[in-house]
């Protein structure tokens, strides 16, 4: 048997877990199977890698040597895999844009602008509620760009590995039914929604905590919170079962009114990210320009939000 990377992963897992049984659980293996694998690895390497007693598994001198090499080889192999995936998926003579986005109301406008600017280009999209997932796909070369939102000044995922640039900052608004008592107002303080149920789109950032904190500052604790996809949130708002938090450039459907929150206690930063070593990095400045233009188009289409922005400079990105 030749030594393989999966064998080094086993050795590392046992060392990190401190016991064979815990490592088996981490790796999703039965303990007898992992024990047998470890014995085969030790035969290949010429000696015991761990001393095992009632306190757990402790690396021997040979085990420490193998672990030292594994801690270098395994990250290097992962980096090679990521770089190879980016190279294999890089565009050739035909331009290609693979976009990932999290519930972004400007994704459609961005796709439209890309198609108009470069008709032969192949444009594909992938959506997820998880910005972490999209960042991972960009790191692995599965996507060229990620269009995500983060709450306020929060750091985006993989901030040390990907390049992130701000597309726009928007006030978070509330969707209410057209016959809601507050629908005719230009804006409403958060405290005026103290008796409402809420619909919120899922996400993996700090938005839920920031929303709870904003409500606390306004003197109340939110009643029922429905974590739901956009379509469900829209329906609940239309029928008056909840009010829905949304991005200010959300494209309104009949029966709904967009209502800005006074003083914008919650703000949403839209970001475009890419890998600095990918071929997509060359087209990133143009992609960022298209994304900003798509946002401007969305702001211009929302008469209420555009009017509110003009009266509240500094609380969002103006055309």
Asked if 6 and 12 count as a contact pair (C-beta separation under 8 A), the reply is no
Using one digit for the tens of pLDDT, what is the confidence trace for 147-190?
999 998 899 999 999 999 999 999 999 999 999 999 999 999 99
- Between the two ends of the chain, the Cα-to-Cα distance in Å is 65
Q: Which own/partner contact pairs does 305-313 have at CB distance under 8 Å and 24+ positions apart? A: 305/170, 305/171, 305/173, 305/248, 305/249, 305/258, 305/260, 307/186, 308/171, 308/186, 308/187, 308/260, 309/171, 311/186, 312/171, 312/260, 312/264
pLDDT at 5: 85
Q: 96-311 is classed in which CATH architecture?
A: 3-Layer(aba) Sandwich (3.40)
The count of other CB atoms within 10 Å of the CB of residue 184 is 9
Is the fold of 5-88 the same as that of 96-311? no
Q: What does the pLDDT look like over 108-148, one tens digit per residue?
A: 999 999 999 988 888 999 999 999 999 999 999 999 999 99
**Looking at residue 48, what is its pLDDT?**
92
State pLDDT tens for residues 85-113. Answer: 666 655 554 578 999 999 889 999 999 99
Average predicted confidence (pLDDT) for the chain = 90
pLDDT tens digits, residue range 210-260? 999 999 999 999 989 999 988 999 999 999 999 999 999 988 888 999 999
Question: Measuring CA to CA, which residue among 138, 131, 143 is closest to residue 163?
Answer: 138
Residues 6+ apart with CB under 8 A from 227: 200, 201, 202
What does the pLDDT read at residue 93?
A: 44
**What are the backbone dihedrals phi and psi of residue 259, each rounded to the nearest 5 degrees, phi first?**
-125, 110
Mean pLDDT of 195-213: 92
Domain ranges (residues) in the chain? 5-88, 96-311
CATH number for the domain formed by residue range(s) 5-88: 1.10.10.10
259-306 pLDDT per residue, tens: 999 999 999 999 999 999 888 899 999 999 999 999 999 999 999 999
Q: pTM for the full model?
A: 0.70
């Amino acid at each position: 048997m030749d030594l393989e990377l999966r064998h080094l992963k086993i050795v590392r897992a046992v060392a990190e877990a401190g016991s064979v049984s815990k490592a088996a659980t981490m790796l999703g293996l039965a303990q007898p199977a992992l024990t047998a694998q470890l014995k085969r690895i030790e035969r290949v390497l010429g000696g015991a890698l761990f001393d095992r007693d009632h306190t757990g598994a402790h690396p021997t001198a040979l085990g420490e040597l193998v672990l030292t090499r594994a801690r270098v080889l395994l990250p290097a192999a992962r980096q090679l895999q990521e770089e190879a995936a980016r190279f294999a998926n890089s565009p050739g003579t035909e331009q290609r844009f693979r976009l990932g986005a999290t519930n972004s109301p400007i994704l459609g406008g961005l796709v439209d602008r890309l198609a108009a600017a470069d008709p032969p280009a192949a444009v594909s999209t992938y959506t997820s509620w998880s910005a972490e997932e999209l960042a991972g796909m960009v790191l692995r070369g599965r996507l060229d760009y990620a269009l995500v939102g983060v709450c306020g000044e929060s750091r985006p995922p993989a901030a040390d590995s990907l390049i992130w640039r701000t597309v726009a900052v928007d006030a978070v608004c509330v969707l209410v039914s057209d016959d809601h008592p507050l629908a005719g107002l230009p804006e409403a303080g958060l405290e005026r929604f103290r008796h409402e149920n809420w619909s919120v789109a899922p996400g993996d950032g700090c938005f839920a905590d920031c929303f709870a904190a904003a409500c606390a500052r306004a003197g109340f604790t939110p009643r029922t919170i429905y974590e739901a996809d956009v379509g469900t949130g829209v329906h609940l708002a239309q029928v008056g079962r909840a009010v829905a938090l949304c991005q200010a450039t959300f494209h309104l459907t009949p029966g709904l009114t967009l209502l800005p929150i006074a003083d914008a206690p919650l703000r949403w930063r839209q970001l475009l990210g890419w890998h600095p070593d990918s071929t997509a990095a060359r087209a990133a400045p143009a992609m960022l320009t298209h994304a900003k233009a798509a946002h401007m188009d969305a702001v211009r289409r929302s008469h209420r939000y555009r009017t509110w922005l003009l009266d509240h400079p500094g609380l969002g990105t103006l055309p």
